A and B are shown apart, each in its own frame.
Chain A
């Protein structure tokens, strides 16, 4: 992932030894016609991606390849890496995909253009992964020599196989004492059904085997196919927002060609834009005269928002459009919903501005106005998954300097309601009147969990606790289990992944896909403070979960709400029925014993502090509730 983010686009000096196929005339080609040159040039292009589990060394391998192909020396690179401390680095995941073109002189004496297209490494982003893979002809399947195959690797591998990509297994970290390459080879055969004879052993860290990998890319991954004479069709596999240039399309040209001055059309929105610049990815963007079939590059066309440059969409020419869109396009579909409020109500405008700016760079993020009696004005937001939610939250807090309160994450439920039919509800505020509900439904996913056999028991218990059904498993290789289970999505968006990591001591890996909606016993839990409902804390849950969740909320509030002059009763209820409660006893004795000349200033300073803190308090009826109470309750389910 190290090479995979925007940091590479900023402030790096132009590289001297840039050398791309597109710049040379192919002396082997006797016809030497223009198109012939292009077709021949296409033979020297390899588009590939790396499939790997988090921590299996994808970033390090990418770094090594970039160094070996000479587009960045070691120092430039390390400086870059050390300079950037962002969310992605800290979390060890690639959130946004990205690409880079590596010029490579192969042992066959010819010059190749290797386009490495990076993919996000988390289950929330499997659609984005599929579009990146659709831009490639082959993939490196990178597996940690001591960890073996993991569930996400498996998920992405299936995507690659569906797209008929050439798969080159690479076994990384062979320098580690715990490395078991033979065992991994066996897994590749047994578990993945791939031929392991061509597997390459490497240590990206030590630089072992990297050249072999580059050679294998050249010799085993086919050159792209495509017709430069056909109407333009280019696949958007990513887009990035640049404050000065708007949304920058990252695309694979399937057919045709594109250059500055062309008027392009984006097929899903039918919007036209005039191309300002095209180019390829080096450590920074490198403008080029044109991009043609088979190539990977960027298109700048004065597009204001990433919303207009949807991943999977097809770019074509306005004047001469292609016959049909490229297959596989899907609108980004939010799966998890939560409302965002500013900690101080005064900051609502700030939050609005921040969201407006933020969404320019995140097409998957949706938001619309929402409001709460307790928290004031805010926004109901949609996310691809919980990780996406956390990333958005962190970016808003760090990059946009927002202090936020986020309500309980919710999935999109369905209710069949008398005389209204099927309603879709992702906000507890819109929960229908229970007497009218005929049937409730919640989304289920199919989870795939890979783990060593010894964790079978604890993982089964975890899945049962999370209302998992249809548990099944098989042994792809002795000692390892592939476990599949149907789980309610709502159970997964809380802390399922963290819990899984804990119970399997880090050895369990997890992937999921959406299955269907199933009938379920859903209720809305309300939290009341001295009889007043705190709307921001309401949430829809399965009846079996209600009591526990209500109790957690009551207990947290008890810790966070200061004492009052009167007793404060906190209740969790379904309908009018109380299912959990806690009580905050009133002040009995709270007074400074001695207060003479020297004590006053200190005492007043304390009062001033308390007073300042009041700005962060909300009134629920007569009860003063600090914002921190909301934060703490709303976080408790994820702790």
Chain B
């Protein structure tokens, strides 16, 4: 394993994110900004491009572009072309940039794969979530297991450079054996990237309401841990690196370059409703609702709803938080840029003990979480916050 060397993110260049807020229907667990007003897609694409214009003075060179959602793949191909080519025209991307498109299995077609490939998409993430139909039904997904399977097959056949998929575990009623099956099915495609998310109960979602009304009972903490542990074990066995709590890469070069920017305070620009941007000091975010976002843009107003400046302490807390949940880990002493101490010598005894207890692994410059540590990364952060 690449110890200290792997600590640095692979690039310092900024990344661009576009939030595509459209969904045919809302899944019961989802708290992302999304809308079913599919009729406003054209308007939306134009608005994003107008928003992008506002940043045209940025002289930066970019090396990642991420189309996420919502459901990015819901955009009709011509609109997708208009959006992507418009962005590529407005911002200067390196030739080997990582360009990611998220897709719902239902939307994956030969045409989409062909078109996106031509537009430069080299990373294709399929929102499979599960191969088990009852589970997909419960979650409110609009596809079945076969659709997920076929989408991956199609993507592989189309020669997608980096194929990734999302899976969900710790769903009430989900059984550990079924989960293993899901992982095995996914592994058949040898995806470059796998994200495995524990189902979470976010306030405001239907899932949360069900839990509150005691119509369902979330898995116990120790059951959730079993799923988490099993996932890490199984994927590690076939060579995947758990480079973040929920993210696995088949090789180091298949880690999500774009997402790593979030986790290491590398600047990023977010376009579209609810998108967040960060310039190294300042973070700002757009209005969450599509209508509001579109109104602001069409009135020539900024879609930014709020912002914050990260002071030293805020940066330190976030670094701690990211450090414990990623392969970056934490340095003892100072971390560049700026003299921000993340872990001080005073913490040494505690760090030592956490290492002895198997939560942390020593690196050349500090510590990072072991798999056991990743499972409790929030608690670790709180200890040093």
Contact = CB atoms under 8 A, between A and B. Distances in A.
Interface of A: 563-566, 587-598, 600-601, 603-604, 607-608, 610-611, 614, 622
Contact of A588 (B221, B274, B357): B221
Contacts of A592: 200, 245, 325, 377-378
B383 interface: yes
B90 interface: no
Interface stretch (B2-10, B209-217, B222-230): B222-230
State the majority secondary structure of interface residues on A: loop
Contacts of B275: 597-598
A622 B383 CA distance: 11
Contacts of A600: 262, 276, 283, 318, 321
B321 A597 contact: no
A611 B274 contact: no
Given A593-B198, A597-B262, A610-B385, A604 B317 contact: yes
B155 to A, nearest CB: 22
Nearest to B200: A593
Interface string B309-325: 00000100110111001
A596 B200 contact: no
A557 B278 CA distance: 43
Contacts of B99: none
B381 interface: yes
Please provide the 10 A-B residue pairs with the shortest distance between their CB atoms, ordered closest to farther: A597-B276, A588-B225, A589-B225, A591-B377, A590-B379, A587-B376, A593-B198, A611-B385, A589-B224, A587-B379
Given A596-B262, A622-B353, 15 more contacts: A566-B357, A587-B376, A588-B376, A589-B225, A589-B376, A592-B377, A593-B246, A595-B245, A595-B321, A597-B262, A600-B262, A600-B318, A601-B285, A604-B321, A610-B382
A591 B221 contact: no
Given A588-B222, A589-B375, A590-B376, A597 B382 contact: no
Contacts of A563: 379
Interface of B: 17, 32, 197-200, 221-222, 224-225, 228, 245-246, 259, 262-263, 268, 270, 274-278, 283, 285, 308, 314, 317-318, 320-322, 325, 350, 353-354, 357, 359, 374-383, 385
Nearest to A563: B379
Contact of A608 (B268, B283, B317, B379): B317
A588 B275 CA distance: 32
A608 B311 CA distance: 12
B381 A589 contact: no
B245 A614 contact: no
A559 B79 CA distance: 56
Contacts of B283: 600-601
> Counting chain B CB atoms within 10 Å of each CB, which of A591, A593, A604, A610 scores highest?
A591
A565 to B, nearest CB: 6
A605 to B, nearest CB: 10
Nearest to A624: B383
A588 B226 CA distance: 9
Given A604-B317, A604-B318, A591 B385 contact: no
Contacts of B270: 597-598
Contacts of B354: 565
A595 B264 CA distance: 12
B378 A591 contact: yes
A590 B375 contact: yes
B102 to A, nearest CB: 12
B246 to A, nearest CB: 6
Contacts of B17: 597
Contacts of A590: 221, 375-379
A565 B377 contact: no
A587 B322 CA distance: 19
Contact of B317 (A565, A594, A598, A611): A611
> Counting chain A CB atoms within 10 Å of each CB, which of B262, B275, B277, B354 scores highest?
B262
A604 B378 CA distance: 11
Nearest to B244: A595
> Counting chain B CB atoms within 10 Å of each CB, which of A564, A566, A604, A622 scores highest?
A604
Nearest to B306: A601
Contacts of A593: 197-200, 245-246
Contacts of A604: 314, 317-318, 321
A596 B225 CA distance: 22
B151 to A, nearest CB: 21
> Counting chain B CB atoms within 10 Å of each CB, which of A566, A598, A601, A607 scores highest?
A598
A601 B274 CA distance: 13
> Counting chain A CB atoms within 10 Å of each CB, which of B221, B357, B376 scores highest?
B376
A607 to B, nearest CB: 5
B245 A598 contact: no
A601 B318 CA distance: 9
Given A589-B221, A594-B246, A565 B379 contact: yes
Nearest to A592: B378
B376 A565 contact: yes
B318 to A, nearest CB: 5
Contacts of B259: 596
B202 to A, nearest CB: 9
B376 A595 contact: no
Contact of A607 (B225, B308, B321): B321
Contacts of B262: 595-597, 600
7 contacts: A591-B325, A592-B325, A593-B198, A594-B246, A598-B274, A600-B262, A601-B283
Contacts of A610: 382, 385
A600 B322 CA distance: 9
A563 B382 CA distance: 12
A121 to B, nearest CB: 48
Contacts of B222: 588-589
